[in-house]
């Protein structure tokens, strides 16, 4: 059985394929492919305290890019619709993801 830390390591490792994709391209992938954007618009009001991460094979075709974008843009709406993680889980995933990116030779922080 995978513990919580290993779970976040696996999630972050899965996102490594997007590490070199520029921010604007990741954002474009999400805008063009995320069917949920029309439903929520720019302001999200969600309860994600019991969330689970979006699994591979889900019906969303851009869930990886969406989670990647959330990790690159932590803020008041991060950790919600896409990841389904609680705020605490999202912070832990962000820490693991950010550490991995640093080891890959470059920091990936918030979009500016």
Domain boundaries, the chain: 4-41+53-103
Q: Do residues 53 and 11 touch, judged by C-beta distance below 8 A?
A: yes
Closest listed residue to residue 54, CA positions, set 42, 68, 44: 68
Give the other-Cβ count within 10 Å of 80's Cβ: 19
Count of residues for the chain? 112
Task: Supply the mean pLDDT for the chain.
Answer: 73
Whether pTM exceeds 0.75: no
**3-state SS assignment for residue 105:** coil
- pLDDT by residue (tens digit) across 62-89? 888 888 988 888 666 554 456 677 888 8
**Rounded to whole angstroms, how far apart are CA atoms 70 and 63?**
10
């Amino acid at each position: 059985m995978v513990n919580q830390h290993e779970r976040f390591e696996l999630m972050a490792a899965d996102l490594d394929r997007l590490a070199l994709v520029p921010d604007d391209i990741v954002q474009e992938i999400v805008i063009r492919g995320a069917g949920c954007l029309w439903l929520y618009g720019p302001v999200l009001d969600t309860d994600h305290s019991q969330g689970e991460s979006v699994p591979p094979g889900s019906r969303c075709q851009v869930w990886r890019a969406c989670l990647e974008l959330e990790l690159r843009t932590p803020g008041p709406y991060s950790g919600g619709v896409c990841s389904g993680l609680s705020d605490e889980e999202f912070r832990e995933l962000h820490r693991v993801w950010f550490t991995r990116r640093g080891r890959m030779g470059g920091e990936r922080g918030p979009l500016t």
